[in-house]
Amino acid sequence: MFPEALLADRTKAIEISGIRKIFELGKSLKDPINLSIGQPHFDVPDAIKVAAKTAINDGHNGYTITQGIPALRDRLLTDAHTRFPGQNRDVAVTSGTSGGLLLALLAVVNPGDEVITPDPYFVAYPNMIALAGGKMVTVDSYPDFRVDPDKVEAAITPRTKAIMISTPSNPTGAVVDAEAQRAIVELAEKRGLLVISDEIYRAFHYDGPAASPASYSENVLVIEGFGKTYGMTGWRLGWAHGPKRLMQEIAKMQQFTFVCAPSIVQWAGVAAMDFEVTGIVADYKRKRDLLADGLRGHYEFELPGGAFYLFPKSPWGTGTEFVTEAVKQNMLIIPGGVFSARDTHFRISYAATDETLHRGIEVLKRMARQG
């Protein structure tokens, strides 16, 4: 038996994802109504697939420079400078948004430092912060999931190093409004903190244009990615952009960890930047409305402004108890306690076929009546 004493202390701070536990349960179900998985239900567009295959055939199979191939990095730099004119931002191509987030935390968090984030939060945040030796401090955003800058300010201590927000959010789909973004950036600059903005779902804004806290300062680190937008989550391609000094350190961290993002996928990323996704986004807005209309009057929820999640309150029991019953009824959803200190809600992913959504709505309406 492997001796426990050989395991590093950091392993005790990392928990197996509650989402993965649901995935394992799903393996035992026959034709489940799967509204759990946080990835697009559509396939990678053909033009992007062709670019990846062409890269293989053309021999682009070796290491790339750490910051990314020039063909992609130049496009991303142009995009960042167009969206944030006058800022001296730099870009690094990363192994997914998770890779970018982890590198950012490794670059700025010392052991014992604190990172503030709203609750609910993406399931990886506490674990990534723990890997960097830090501590996650949460600010409550219930019941409407709006980020209150006054609560953020109240949570700051001498050990605070960064404020991390996600807009649109996983698991709630909430969008941080421009006024709150500006207030958080001004607060961070006053207190000497870094704002990290996780914008993996930037393409999926349904009720207005995308906004970023980077609009208010170049000292905001933005993490973005290709996976959700183009259905290529398993290809692991993201990018980070922010102040040059910080990006130098992120590149250094990548050099000795991930080395570089996958070479052939970077070439596919160049093609992806020419692919128009407005039709996909419009279809997901329609799916959001289909799900919301089906559950309205049966559940309490805030209409999400982006991403592809709905985060209703459990009509009875805890979120975990409700999800456990859903599994018995052949449906997979995620308990809210995976993303929060509270276990009162559950997450539905509407990245699914209309048929699956209709099946799920019927089961959820029936379950609401069980209370």
pLDDT (tens digit per residue) in 144-161: 999 999 999 999 999 999
Domain boundaries, given as residue ranges, for the chain: 4-44+277-370, 47-272
CATH class as words, domain 4-44+277-370:
alpha beta
pLDDT (tens digit per residue) in 15-24: 776 666 666 7
Fold classification of 47-272 (topology level): Aspartate Aminotransferase; domain 2 (3.40.640)
Averaged pLDDT for residues 99-107: 97
Q: How far is CA 335 from the centre of its chain?
A: 17
Alpha-helix residue ranges (DSSP H) falling in the chain: 18-26, 46-57, 70-83, 96-108, 125-131, 149-155, 178-191, 227-230, 244-255, 263-272, 278-295, 319-328, 354-370
| CA separation for the pair 49, 44 (Å, rounded) | 7
Q: 190 falls in which pLDDT band (50, 70, 90)?
A: very high
CA-closest candidate to residue 207, choices 83, 309, 304: 304
What's the pLDDT at 20?
Answer: 66
Which tokens go with 189?
A: 């600059």
| CA separation for the pair 318, 310 (Å, rounded) | 17
pLDDT (tens digit per residue) in 197-242: 999 999 999 999 999 999 999 999 999 999 999 999 999 999 999 9
pLDDT (tens digit per residue) in 353-367: 999 999 999 999 999
- Whether omega for the bond prior to residue 168 falls within 30 degrees of 0, making it cis, is yes
Mean per-residue pLDDT over the chain, rounded? 95
Contacts of 23 (CB under 8 A, 6+ apart): 36, 37, 332
Q: Residue 352 region, left (φ>0) first, then alpha (ψ -120 to 50), else beta? A: beta
Query: Three-state DSSP class for 154?
Result: helix
Averaged pLDDT for residues 62-87: 96
Which tokens go with 129?
A: 């912060």
What's the pLDDT at 10?
Answer: 86
pLDDT (tens digit per residue) in 157-183: 999 999 999 999 999 999 999 999 999
What's the pLDDT at 23?
Answer: 66
Averaged pLDDT for residues 295-301: 97
pLDDT (tens digit per residue) in 241-288: 999 999 999 999 999 999 999 999 999 999 999 999 999 999 999 999
Direct distance between the N- and C-terminal alpha carbons of the chain, in angstroms, rounded to an integer: 47
Averaged pLDDT for residues 82-96: 96
Task: With a cut of 90, say whether residue 11 has pLDDT above it.
Answer: no
**Residues 171, 311: contact at Cβ < 8 Å?**
yes
What's the pLDDT at 18?
Answer: 63
What's the pLDDT at 305?
Answer: 98
